[in-house]
């Protein structure tokens, strides 16, 4: 299928892009990497009358230090994140998670900002951003707003972004010397959207994990934190017995939604498998 007809504009500034969003409201769509939008247009799941192509806005590019944070521009591609040295050193969770996103061709074009804006509950970047306690920076007619990832993902493909706002970047705290992270997911084939996935971030001292943020993808309408399991593990010494208690805690805590091929029970089981793997990594790290 081919998309319905639309007008196309490539603005020269963010201000111009925002003015177009204000003028056209829900009839306009931002185009970034196009890896989701073009598919939805061609399948006629979306038929905007205006496409606003932001790929010429250089201020949305780049990965750099911003105080105690790493700032990732909205137009940075998945591949750029995968191979960036600053990311590898200071936000290594993203380096680990990147290869799980689709295939190389999609990672070469798809953007960080597009993934955060689209807010697919099975996508890797929203889950990582929430685990990393990141901040989404958006710009609208009134200027910039900074929204915590905790408040950004509010429903199925729904975010705190207003219709006349654009994501310009995200900021993520730089990893501390005790930083611990892990990422795992289960998909039928590599490159498919995951059935269930998990990002976890904390501070590790010896066998103990603190300040844990454990986030699941593919189980609810948004990425979700496993608050009870985080709390249960906080400050305790990891061993096989504790991991079994944590697995039981997660099993009781989550209430997964089914998808076309997986029941809630299957997803609950898979989530516990992932937790066990993640915690075993933290335990093993201290024993080598």
Ligand X SMILES: Cc1cc2nc3c(=O)[nH]c(=O)nc-3n(C[C@H](O)[C@H](O)[C@H](O)COP(=O)(O)OP(=O)(O)OC[C@H]3O[C@@H](n4cnc5c(N)ncnc54)[C@H](O)[C@@H]3O)c2cc1C
Q: Is 48 in the site for ligand X (CB under 6 A)?
A: no
Q: Is 93 in the site for ligand X (CB under 6 A)?
A: no
How near is the Cβ of 244 to ligand X at its closest, in Å?
A: 31
Q: Is 101 in the site for ligand X (CB under 6 A)?
A: yes
Interaction with ligand X in 188-207: which residues (CB under 6 A)? 193
Q: Around Cβ 155, how many Cβ atoms within 10 Å?
A: 11
Pick 6 or 242: Cβ nearer ligand X: 6
Q: Is 115 in the site for ligand X (CB under 6 A)?
A: yes
CA 246 to chain centre: 24
Q: Tell which residue, 161, 196, 203, has the closest CA to residue 18.
A: 161
**Residue tagged 């024993």 (tokens):** 287
One DSSP character per residue, 26-54 reads GGEEEESS-TTHHHHHHTTS---SEEEE-
194 membership: H or E segment, kind and range: none
How near is the Cβ of 71 to ligand X at its closest, in Å?
A: 14
Pick 156 or 205: Cβ nearer ligand X: 156
Helix (DSSP H) and strand (DSSP E) numbers for the chain? 12, 14
Q: Is 118 in the site for ligand X (CB under 6 A)?
A: yes
Select the residue interacting with ligand X from 29, 90, 179, 225 (CB under 6 A). Answer: 29
Return d(Cα 281, Cα 287) in angstroms, integer. Answer: 10
Binding mask 248-287 for ligand X (x = CB under 6 A): ----------------------------------------
63 φ/ψ angles, rounded to the nearest 5 degrees: -125, 125
286 φ/ψ angles, rounded to the nearest 5 degrees: -85, -10
270 φ/ψ angles, rounded to the nearest 5 degrees: -65, -35
Select the residue interacting with ligand X from 18, 81, 136, 167 (CB under 6 A). Answer: 167
Select the residue interacting with ligand X from 69, 87, 110, 204 (CB under 6 A). Answer: 110
Return d(Cα 149, Cα 160) in angstroms, integer. Answer: 10
Select the residue interacting with ligand X from 24, 87, 113, 223 (CB under 6 A). Answer: 113
Tell me the three state secondary structure of residue 19.
helix
Pick 112 or 180: Cβ nearer ligand X: 112
How near is the Cβ of 133 to ligand X at its closest, in Å?
A: 19
Q: Is 106 in the site for ligand X (CB under 6 A)?
A: yes
Pick 83 or 227: Cβ nearer ligand X: 83
Q: Tell which residue, 61, 150, 158, 52, has the closest CA to residue 113.
A: 61
Which residues here bind ligand X, judged by CB under 6 A? 29-37, 39, 74, 101-102, 106, 110-111, 113-115, 117-118, 123-125, 166-167, 193
């Amino acid at each position: 299928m081919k998309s319905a007809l639309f007008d196309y504009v490539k603005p020269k500034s963010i201000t111009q892009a925002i003015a177009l969003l204000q003028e056209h409201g829900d009839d306009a769509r931002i185009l970034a990497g196009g890896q989701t939008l073009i598919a939805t247009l061609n399948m006629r799941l979306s038929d905007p009358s205006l496409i606003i192509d932001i790929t010429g806005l250089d201020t949305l590019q780049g990965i750099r230090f911003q105080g105690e944070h790493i700032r990732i521009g909205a137009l940075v591609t998945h591949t750029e994140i995968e191979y960036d040295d600053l990311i590898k050193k200071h936000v290594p969770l993203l380096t680990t998670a990147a290869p799980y996103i689709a295939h190389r061709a999609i990672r070469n074009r798809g953007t960080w900002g597009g993934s955060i804006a689209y807010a697919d509950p099975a996508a890797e970047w929203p889950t990582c951003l929430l685990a990393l306690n990141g901040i989404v920076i958006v710009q609208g007619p009134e200027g910039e707003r900074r929204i915590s990832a905790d408040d950004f993902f509010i429903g199925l493909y729904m975010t705190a972004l207003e219709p006349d706002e654009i994501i310009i970047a995200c900021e993520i705290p730089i990893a501390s010397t005790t930083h611990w992270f892990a990422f795992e997911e289960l998909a039928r084939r590599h490159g498919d959207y995951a059935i269930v996935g998990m990002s976890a971030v904390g501070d590790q001292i010896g066998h103990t994990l603190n300040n844990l943020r454990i986030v699941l993808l593919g189980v609810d309408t948004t990425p979700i934190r496993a608050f009870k399991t985080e709390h249960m593990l906080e400050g305790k010494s990891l061993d096989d017995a504790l991991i079994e208690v944590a697995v039981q805690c997660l099993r009781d805590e989550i209430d997964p939604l089914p998808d076309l091929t997986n029941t809630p029970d299957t997803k609950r089981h898979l989530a516990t498998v992932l937790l066990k793997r993640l915690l075993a990594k933290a335990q093993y790290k201290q024993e080598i």
